[in-house]
Structure 1
Amino acid sequence: MRKRKYSILTKVGIFYLLFTLLSFLVTAIILHSEATKHMDNILEERLKQREHWVKILIERRPERVNKKDYATVTPVATIPKAFKPVYKDTVLLHHETGRKEVHRKRINYVTVKDQHYRIEVIKSATELYRFKDDVYEIILPVFIVLALVIILINYLLSGYLFAPFKYILRQMASFNLTRKQSFRQRTTSTTEFYHLQQLFEAMQKRIVNDYEQLKSYTENMSHELQTPLTIMQNKAEHLLSDETLSQQQAEKIKIIYDEVMQLSRLGSLLNLITKIGNEEFTDVKEAYTKPILEQHIQSISDFAANRYIEIKTTLSADHAFKIDTGLLDILIRNLLKNAVSYANSDSVIYIETTSSAFIISNEGPELEFDAATIFNRFTKGKNSKSLGLGLAIVKQICQIGKLNISYQRTNGRHVFSIEEKTFD
């Protein structure tokens, strides 16, 4: 599964939201803790005050002590040693509201006029718990509003802030060595985008300059090589037509002639590979494979017939690749030539096109090299007279045309399959 991609602003927004959420949580915890301490202190002071008034009532009006709904006084014989006031929360019926509410209770022992008493005083703690709940009830809506604002700002500003960056990306995507185009800078006040434009413009100029130099060198080299090769080829042909040559001399001249032809073909193929690599084939359109296949099958039919090879086809009229027609012509010609050249004599070559795939297969001996290197340049069998460039050219064309090519050996057949790349 491909990892999902996010824009920089979205990532920044997500990190900011997470940081804000963490900050809000920490703030809420601190506020909750401080609010609890503050309310505990208030309740403690109020309970102490009530206990103080109870002590006064015990001294002055003891008969009214237990008539107070907030206090319970019980005479005891002794006071526990090292006793400290105890606070407890309990649920009681509130005398005013008539509802059960949380109350805070203070239990203490006092001595009044040589008599020991156990005093319990209570105070409603509902406000404390309500206040503690209010902390989260306030924090949560504020965070939600802030999150929505951040998302909205991210959506509105992404188009404006990143417009120069997206423009640079479009310029990069449309850059083509074969087109004489200059980089049109876009005015931006963002330092990073300005530097990115400067860097891309400098790289573009350097790449174009290197390309022009390499192209000029390749063309000059090809021309300079072809001239002596043509002269050598013509001289060899002239010598071969000389009837005064002995058999041995004719055979040696024939070897020279074959090597010259091989070298000439090698130069042409390497020049073709360079042109393909430089993306000089730019007439990209919907190219249907059926007419091109039929044309090349007809051209190679005599060669196949001499080796008793039959070519069977199942062609779809709708099958097409979005590619330069010149490149598609080279691709099909090389695959068909490869199949006929390496097929067993008296065998069948199958060619099939469906709505999405192009498949060609032929019977043939096992490979003499690793199948993983079949598309590498100069990969060939030990006794092969091939240059080992045909399938390398096919692979390069597929890469430029965004096509997937695969090879497998199945039931004694070499199977090549080409499909358009799919993007998730």
Structure 2
Amino acid sequence: MSLALLIALSAWAFIFYVNMIDEVHDSIDDGLDNSKLLIIHEANQDSTVLYKTSFDEGNYAIRKMPADHALKHYDQYKDTLMYMENEHDLEPVRLLTTVFEAKENQFYELKVISSMVEEDDLIEDLFYSLLWLYLILMVTILVINALVLRSMWKPFFTYLNRLSQFKLEKNEKVQPIQSKTAEFQLLNKVVTEVLESNIRSFHNQKQLIENASHELQTPLAIALNKLQLLAENKELSEEIVKEIFQTIETLERLTRLNKSLLLLSKIENKQFRDEELVCFNELIQNILNEFQDQIEFKELELDLAFEGELKAQINPELARILITNLIKNAIRHNFKKGKIGILLTDSSLQISNSGTDKPLDPAKVFQRFHKESNDQSSTGLGLAIVKSIVDLSGYRISYNYALGIHQFMINFN
């Protein structure tokens, strides 16, 4: 708006200035026309006037010209410079060149001049007056515009700030704008309706996921217990027992999948709200102790390096899930007598492991249900959960591969 106003006023000032100059020239030209008529009248009365060929003693000069040239001539006005004896310098003048017919059918060229010194001063004064008026007007308009707009839009930006701090999971209402402006009242109504609809949808979705998970967990647990009891029946053949154990493994995988999907849903719905400063040095050491049997079973070489104390703001439960999934991933997708490396600094965590001799697809490695191996016990959700936790906490995770080593790095800056 201010830019449009600036352009409009600039255009207005330019047009006004051009019109004023045109008016000054018109006024001078009218004076020249009047002088022309007086000189022609005087020449018809006194023939000696026709012999004044220079501007030495007046504001006109006359010279005789052929009739064929005279008939093709028309009045011309132009600005030019002329040497003035009294000023001893070139001065601006307005020059009228015309042709008239005197007695005895003789044609003469008449040049009439009018000094523009005073007019130039007037134009200069007008220019600076207009410039100052334009600048003062612009500053005044911009200041008033800024004050009025700031006052007018203050409720809107206050409301915008409240909306930016709104969190679905906190179940808080956004205080509406206190304004009599019809547009702001309409904004209040629309935003309130949208937020209430989203809050209802959020809580319905949350309840549906929790109920579905609970309803699935119960029959799965019952089915597993019954199958385990059935497998203990000594009257069953070995082939049937084998089938039962395969079914148990499938149900256990389904149970893990159900828990992982529920966890992902909770993370994405931001149901883990309580954050605190977590020390990852202690957390990693504790989780490694839990996986010690698996590490020894695979005869993995563990290289643990703490180059600093890493403390980060994160939900403690999510921090444990994050580290557990990364270490479990490094063990599961490793080969016997492979290597695991954990490097901790005061701002980053790097977990690497030996594994397949080709890199994973960086674009798909954190996607749900993406699996590079044929491990049936894997749900394909471990790294997706890791990525969701890192994103929720406001950190960054990346994957790299070099010389047979797969590396996951979390940057906590």
TM-score interval, smaller chain: 0.7 to 0.9
1:224-373 alignment runs, 5 A limit: 224-242=215-233, 245-366=236-357, 370-373=361-364
Residue 9 of structure 1: aligned partner: none
Displacement of 1:288 after TM fit?
A: 3.4
Query: 2: CA distance between counterparts of 1:70 and 1:169?
Result: 74
Q: Decide which of 34, 46, 59 is 1:70's aligned counterpart.
A: 59
Q: 1:99 to 1:222 in 2, by over 3 A?
A: same
Aligned AA (1:321): A
Q: 1:289 to 1:156 in 2, by over 3 A?
A: farther
Query: 1: CA distance between counterparts of 2:29 and 2:150?
Result: 58
Aligned AA (2:48): P
Displacement of 1:334 after TM fit?
A: 0.8
Aligned AA (1:311): L
> Which segment is superposed worse, 126-135 or 78-87?
126-135
Displacement of 1:294 after TM fit?
A: 2.0
Query: 1:367–1:381: 8 Å Cα contact kept in structure 2?
Result: no
Query: 2:343–2:349: 8 Å Cα contact kept in structure 1?
Result: yes
> Which segment is superposed worse, 96-105 or 263-272?
96-105
Query: 2:358–2:404: 8 Å Cα contact kept in structure 1?
Result: no
How high is the sequence identity, in percent, across the aligned residues? 26
Aligned AA (1:47): L
Question: Structure 1, unaligned stretches of length 5 or more?
Answer: 1-11
Query: 2:177–2:184: 8 Å Cα contact kept in structure 1?
Result: no
Residue 394 of structure 2: aligned partner: 402
Query: 2: CA distance between counterparts of 1:155 and 1:354?
Result: 50
Deviations 1:263-313 (A, max 9, x none): 221221111111111111111344332222222222212211211212223
1:414 equivalent in alignment to 2:406: yes
Query: 2:13–2:134: 8 Å Cα contact kept in structure 1?
Result: no
Question: Could you tell me the TM-score, scaled by structure 2's length?
Answer: 0.86
Query: 1: CA distance between counterparts of 2:234 and 2:211?
Result: 37
Displacement of 1:101 after TM fit?
A: 1.8
Aligned AA (1:273): L
Deviations 1:368-423 (A, max 9, x none): 974422211111135212010101111111221222222232222212222258xx
> Which segment is superposed worse, 193-202 or 390-399?
193-202
Q: 1:70 to 1:420 in 2, by over 3 A?
A: farther
1:38 equivalent in alignment to 2:23: yes
Query: 2: CA distance between counterparts of 1:275 and 1:77?
Result: 105
Q: 1:230 to 1:103 in 2, by over 3 A?
A: same
Query: 1: CA distance between counterparts of 2:182 and 2:344?
Result: 53
Residue 184 of structure 1: aligned partner: 175
Query: 1: CA distance between counterparts of 2:217 and 2:119?
Result: 98
1:45-84 alignment runs, 5 A limit: 45-58=30-43, 59-60=45-46, 62=48, 68-75=57-64, 80-82=69-71, 83-84=73-74
Secondary structure, counterpart of 1:80 in structure 2:
helix
Query: 1: CA distance between counterparts of 2:205 and 2:219?
Result: 22
Query: 2:60–2:113: 8 Å Cα contact kept in structure 1?
Result: yes
**Matched length:** 406
> Which segment is superposed worse, 137-146 or 276-285?
137-146
Q: 1:355 to 1:159 in 2, by over 3 A?
A: farther
> Which segment is superposed worse, 244-253 or 223-232?
244-253
Query: 2: CA distance between counterparts of 1:107 and 1:238?
Result: 124
Query: 1: CA distance between counterparts of 2:387 and 2:279?
Result: 19
Question: Could you tell me the TM-score, scaled by structure 1's length?
Answer: 0.84
1:387 equivalent in alignment to 2:379: yes
> Which segment is superposed worse, 24-33 or 225-234?
24-33
Query: 2:359–2:406: 8 Å Cα contact kept in structure 1?
Result: no
Secondary structure, counterpart of 2:169 in structure 1:
coil
Aligned AA (2:179): T
Aligned AA (2:406): H
> Which segment is superposed worse, 49-58 or 97-106?
49-58
Aligned AA (1:51): K
> Which segment is superposed worse, 274-283 or 160-169?
160-169
Residue 160 of structure 1: aligned partner: 151
Question: Structure 2, unaligned stretches of length 5 or more?
Answer: none
Displacement of 1:72 after TM fit?
A: 2.4
Query: 1:363–1:412: 8 Å Cα contact kept in structure 2?
Result: yes
Secondary structure, counterpart of 1:178 in structure 2:
helix
Secondary structure, counterpart of 1:414 in structure 2:
strand
Aligned AA (2:93): H
Q: Decide which of 76, 91, 96 is 1:86's aligned counterpart.
A: 76
Query: 2: CA distance between counterparts of 1:303 and 1:155?
Result: 68
Secondary structure, counterpart of 2:303 in structure 1:
strand
RMSD over aligned Cα, in angstroms? 3.0
Residue 8 of structure 1: aligned partner: none
Aligned AA (2:407): V
